[in-house]
Amino acid sequence: MTDSNKTPSGNGTGNGKEYKWVGTRAVRPDGVDKVTGRAKFGADLHLPNMLVGKVLRSPHAHAHIRSIDTSAAEALSGVKAVVTRDDFSDQPKGAVQPAGEMTINYRDMVRNVMAREKALYEGHAIAAVAAVDARIAAKALSLIKVDFEVLPHVIDPVAAMESGAPIIQEDLMTEGMEQSPGAMTNIAKRVEFGHGDVAVGFAEADVVIEREFTTQPVHQGYIEPHACVASMTEDGQGELWLSTQGHYVARGHCATLLGLDVSKLRVQASEIGGGFGGKTVVYLEPLALALSRKACQPVKMTMTREEVFRATGPTSGAHLWVKVGATNDGRITAADAVLKYQAGAFPGSPVAQGAQCAFAPYELNHVRTVGYDILVNRAKVAAYRAPGAPIAEYATESVMDEIAGVIGMDPLAFRLKNAPKQGSQSSYGPKFPVIGCIETLEAARDHDHYQTPLKPGQGRGVATGYWFNIGGQTSATLNLSEDGSVALVLGTVDVGGTRASLSMMAAEELGIDLDKVRPMIVDTSALGYNMLTGGSRVTFAGGIAVVGAAQDLIGTLKDRAAKFWDISVDDVEWAEGEARATNGYTDNMQPLSLQEIAKDMAKTGGPIVGAHSINAQGAGPSFGTHVVDVDVDRETGRVWVTRYTVVQDAGKAIHPSYVEGQYQGGAVQGIGWALNEEYIYDDKGRLENAGFLDYRVPVCSDVPMIDTVIVEVANPTHPYGVRGVGETPIVPPMAAISNALANALGIRFTALPMSPPKVLAAIKAANGDVTTAN
């Protein structure tokens, strides 16, 4: 092993090195549980004396709640508790806290988990009951009488910005506006990023293209609905089991909403059946805790799929305006965009992130992006994989493709000509650190896919995507057992193989077999704070914490060996899983293995533990370029993706299979977003397709194999060079597919999804001419 001197603040020299575990395709430690049905997900816990909780939800998109009468429900035999808005204290105004990739405002959160003055969207929780079984709980819901005064509603973001639109939050003030609109508004925030002067840039352009786009809300679509079991005791202590991306974050939210000391609530994350950002927030959990506090019995709550669609997630639908200018030789002179994102019923759409990412794959002298966060009568948006970026980059990458076509340049050559590199000023402000944008574009250009001629009637599209990635608070501990095996104690929820990647880094550092490292994700009382799994942060930040814990453990192991040999610790080194004496002692002292030191730890000072807690900084941004071929059924408008290649910079792939898995999964979610998925509302603001039959996510027969190329431009702030990989893959697909359709049909689509009826209508309208559809 040559890397035992790596420290958490290493130099990213890991790239290209030979490792024993890092870079291999080891079987994941939680795998057997997941292929045998043993793994316990949110709804799989049963406790003695457990009640079933259910939620009464608003049938209206917008309504005053005049009164709620729960007396008949409470009187029903078998009902143990009923809670409404009266069971939650209001939260102070204006307290907004950053939380991962999104922000939180507890005054909004208490209203989102349980409606107070108004029901703000169809599916908004109005009351919850806990009863001895599901049938009685359902009966109790039917006995609750709610007096609604139905109000006009608005869902379209452009309509919601107009004067005279129904007002969602009467006390809303617009952040970031130079002047107050003067009247009540649904505009929660205006943001602006950029540098230079776009007017000057457009004056330098030979070609200018300006387009408007729309996208619809799409749901994260995790297969496991939200579920939890809450248990409060008479003395005010509590336990919570839930499917979440972050149990420490959920603990903080629940404790705040229920007025509990944070440490009185012990929270355990179940296995999570998908999240994609949608399980970073709480919905059922505060209700279950409140019900359990009243009943003093455990309460289990699970959502139906319909509830998931109506009351959780999704991401924003949007209206987008993009204008780009370029010279005839392919240099972009100016780029400008205005993005209007639905926030749902409370502020907090990811429009700022969208505005920051919109032009990030380009080095620009004159760039501006403006974003508006718009309240509408729809569930509050939750993070969805690179929140905000796919929407913005769908529009910008469509225009980039079109302008490359107009000036007659290959779209990848056009991107390469304008690509950013280390030191380039990003379109949103900071200078880029070491990035792999150019390497990724070149790998796509040189790939067999891009070189292979298309069949007649097919089209090919490309698009590039960008995401920042994040670090954040992370703790990890390694507990040495007496036989030399090691427990790796983690607090970061594993959504797709991070127990494997983190264990591999621990084994690599310690120089021991992977089989000797047993990872465990523990409850909130058993390890220091861990921010949620999001921002593609776990292999990055968790990796730094685990490497740090291993270095800490090795420090103690060297101390013990020095003690045993009675030499200075400076004369001991750690290599290949053993302590070795150096500096002239080499001949006298036989190396001491981890097992030998562990066996005698009682004699040399007692238990041996390595720990590391950090707030990780320096997450390496990741660029990806996708190449897609499509075939169009001209009679039905059905688009078939016939070949797909994802090229993305991973920094360093710790476990290549799970890196590929992120690339493939993100691409297929993007295919759904591009071709099928959308929220469809009736004229009363009620969702018409709240199920997997009508909200159609891609199925196995819809998609081809997804080829992957892992580019590795090491991130210098990680000991192995890791960049986050989970989010960037969903950024390029929508534009790549739209660009492929333009190539196949000569029709430029400007609205998502490009579902069969829309494609067919566009084909009919075009009559074979090149035109702009929608």
Q: Which residues bind other proteins (CB under 8 A)?
A: 25, 27-28, 30-32, 34-41, 43-44, 46, 135, 220-225, 271-276, 302, 304-305, 495-497, 655, 657-658, 660-661, 664-669, 691-693, 697-703, 705-706
The CA-CA-CA angle for residues 381, 383, 384, to 5°, reads: 105
Q: How far is the CB of 496 from other proteins (least distance, A)?
A: 4
Query: Would you give the DSSP letter of residue 542?
Result: I
User: Which C-beta is closer to other proteins: that of 34 or that of 145?
Assistant: 34
Q: What is the DSSP string of 44-105?
A: G---TT-EEEEEEE-SSSSEEEEEEE-HHHHHSTTEEEEE-GGGS----TT-EEEETTEEEE
> Phi, psi at residue 691, to the nearest 5°?
-165, 160
Q: How far is the CB of 628 from other proteins (least distance, A)?
A: 13
Question: Cis peptide before 181, with omega less than 30 degrees from 0?
Answer: no
User: Which C-beta is closer to other proteins: that of 83 or that of 495?
Assistant: 495
Q: Report the C-alpha gap between 41 and 268 in whole angstroms.
A: 11
Q: Report the C-alpha gap between 390 and 465 in whole angstroms.
A: 8
- Give the three-class secondary structure for 202: helix
Q: How far is the CB of 690 from other proteins (least distance, A)?
A: 10
Q: How far is the CB of 498 from other proteins (least distance, A)?
A: 10
Helix, strand and coil percent figures for the chain, each rounded to 5: 30, 25, 45
Q: How far is the CB of 639 from other proteins (least distance, A)?
A: 17
User: Which C-beta is closer to other proteins: that of 602 or that of 693?
Assistant: 693
User: Which C-beta is closer to other proteins: that of 51 or that of 355?
Assistant: 51
Provide CB contacts within 8 A for 167, sequence distance 6+: 184, 185, 186
User: Which C-beta is closer to other proteins: that of 184 or that of 697?
Assistant: 697
- Give the three-class secondary structure for 252: helix
Q: How far is the CB of 54 from other proteins (least distance, A)?
A: 14
Q: Six-digit token pair at 773?
A: 């559809």
Q: How far is the CB of 544 from other proteins (least distance, A)?
A: 23
Q: How far is the CB of 449 from other proteins (least distance, A)?
A: 15
User: Which C-beta is closer to other proteins: that of 426 or that of 708?
Assistant: 708
User: Which C-beta is closer to other proteins: that of 549 or that of 641?
Assistant: 641
Q: How far is the CB of 516 from other proteins (least distance, A)?
A: 19
Q: Are 386 and 408 spatial neighbours (Cβ–Cβ below 8 Å)?
A: no
- Give the three-class secondary structure for 704: coil
The 3 state secondary structure assigned to 31-54 is: HHHHHCCCCCEHHHCCCCCCEEEE
Q: Report the C-alpha gap between 653 and 659 in whole angstroms.
A: 6
Q: How far is the CB of 494 from other proteins (least distance, A)?
A: 9
Q: How far is the CB of 273 from other proteins (least distance, A)?
A: 3
- What is the distance in angstroms between the CA of the first residue and the CA of the last residue of the chain? 60
Provide CB contacts within 8 A for 387, sequence distance 6+: 101, 102, 277, 315, 350, 353, 381
Q: How far is the CB of 140 from other proteins (least distance, A)?
A: 16
User: Which C-beta is closer to other proteins: that of 64 or that of 135?
Assistant: 135
User: Which C-beta is closer to other proteins: that of 28 or that of 247?
Assistant: 28
User: Which C-beta is closer to other proteins: that of 477 or that of 622?
Assistant: 622
User: Which C-beta is closer to other proteins: that of 25 or that of 64?
Assistant: 25
Q: Report the C-alpha gap between 78 and 35 in whole angstroms.
A: 38
> Phi, psi at residue 658, to the nearest 5°?
-80, -20
User: Which C-beta is closer to other proteins: that of 24 or that of 774?
Assistant: 24
Q: Report the C-alpha gap between 557 and 541 in whole angstroms.
A: 24
Q: Are 125 and 141 spatial neighbours (Cβ–Cβ below 8 Å)?
A: no
Query: Would you give the DSSP letter of residue 539?
Result: I
Q: How far is the CB of 304 from other proteins (least distance, A)?
A: 6
H/E segment holding residue 109? helix 106-113
Q: Report the C-alpha gap between 208 and 327 in whole angstroms.
A: 9
Q: How far is the CB of 659 from other proteins (least distance, A)?
A: 10
User: Which C-beta is closer to other proteins: that of 305 or that of 686?
Assistant: 305
Q: Are 472 and 541 spatial neighbours (Cβ–Cβ below 8 Å)?
A: yes
The 3 state secondary structure assigned to 253-310 is: HHHHHHCCCHHHEEEEECECCCCCCCCCCCCHHHHHHHHHHHHCCCEEEECCHHHHHH
Query: Would you give the DSSP letter of residue 167?
Result: P
User: Which C-beta is closer to other proteins: that of 157 or that of 753?
Assistant: 753
Q: How far is the CB of 197 from other proteins (least distance, A)?
A: 43
Which amino acid belongs to residue 722?
A: V
User: Which C-beta is closer to other proteins: that of 242 or that of 668?
Assistant: 668
